Amino acid sequence: MSSKKKTSPKSKVIAAVMIVAALGGGLLWLRKDANGLRNALSYHYWIDRYTGVETYKPEVKYFTRGSRDHKDVCFTFDDGPHEAGAPLILDNLKKAGVHATFFVVGIRVKQHPELVKRMIDEGNEVGNHTQDHLRLDGLPIKNVQAEIENCATNIERACGRRPALLRPPGMRFKHETLALATKLGYTTVGWNVGAQDFVPAPSGHPTKEMEDEIHTTPDQVAERVIKGVKPGVIILLHDNPVTAQALPKIFDWLKKEGYTVKTVTQMLAELKPPVIIEPDPVFVPPAKKKMVKSLPSVGATTHKA
């Protein structure tokens, strides 16, 4: 006579539910850890992550996230400088004692060169976000080059510095764009956490109309950023007053949780092996390069890793 007890149908159902719940919970954790379900289910993603290619692709100088070994985050602000948003953002950065990386648009740099100069003077980094904010994947390569070089020219005229970082608008680009950027001396920079704050607001302080225009409020911007924070993430924000108003809440939370805010080049320097880039080196016009060849780059900004 067998002493084994038969498993009841109810017990089987409970066990099945527990297994499904465990698998679902594990998948949700992987999704969050991998920044999306597509990555979580992709063996290419996990291979890249294991080999370190997930963070930086040296052959095309493409930086996608910082080290997971450091409790750091990077703030990047796109599409400015706008007269309404940039001063408020800079005020909040200065008050918090942190620096960020601004990816600026050439036509707006031409309108507000003083804001780009202020970014540099206050220790921030300025990157190239093209001249007209066009999607580069739909342009002939000669037009892509013009978009990058014209923006760089406006930055040079505004602050006397040469940008070393590039972010294609909408992260829309082809492989040949990365090859061109590398040839021109740029490191291309992606992002991991966004707050859906894309549309610039038109005046100095966020009104109900502005919040309706970008379909968000400062609290929502802060909550979206905080929800996505993990060691090494690059945060995408935009140059508008609603976003500026969200910054104090984000900075307070990061401080409480023990995070440090770094610039793009500081996070690059923390990779293994480190990638050392001089942010915004002093621009020397071609005709004068021979004259100052033996002199150091006076006023060049450097960061310690």
Is residue 295 in a domain? no
Is residue 236 in a domain? yes
Angle subtended at Cα 72 by Cα 230 and Cα 255, rounded to the nearest 5 degrees: 90
CA-closest candidate to residue 74, choices 261, 243, 242, 275? 261
Q: What is the CATH number of the domain that holds 252?
A: 3.20.20.370
Is residue 166 in a domain? yes
Q: How many structural domains is the chain composed of?
A: 1
Sorted by sequence, the CB contacts under 8 Å of residue 227 that are 6+ apart come out as none
Is residue 231 in a domain? yes
Q: Catalytic residue among 72, 78, 197, 239, which?
A: 78
The full 3-state SS of 192-254, as one line of letters, equals CEECCCCCCCCCCCCCHHHHHHCCCCHHHHHHHHHHHCCCCCEEEEECCHHHHHHHHHHHHHH
Rounded Cα distance, 24 and 37, in Å:
12
Residue 216, pLDDT score: 79
Check if the beta carbon of residue 246 is closer than 8 Å to that of residue 269: no
Is residue 243 in a domain? yes
Helix (H, G, I), strand (E, B) or coil at 161: strand
Is residue 14 in a domain? no
Is residue 56 in a domain? yes
Which residues constitute the domain of residue 271?
52-285
CA-closest candidate to residue 81, choices 54, 106, 56? 106
Is residue 34 in a domain? no
Is 78 part of the annotated catalytic residue set?
Answer: yes
| Residue 182 DSSP symbol | H
Is 239 part of the annotated catalytic residue set?
Answer: no
Q: Catalytic residue among 82, 99, 129, 238, which?
A: 238
Residue 298, pLDDT score: 38
What averages of pLDDT result for each successive group of 10 residues across the chain (305 residues)? 60 66 58 57 49 78 95 97 96 98 98 98 98 96 98 98 97 95 98 81 51 75 96 96 96 98 97 95 76 41 35
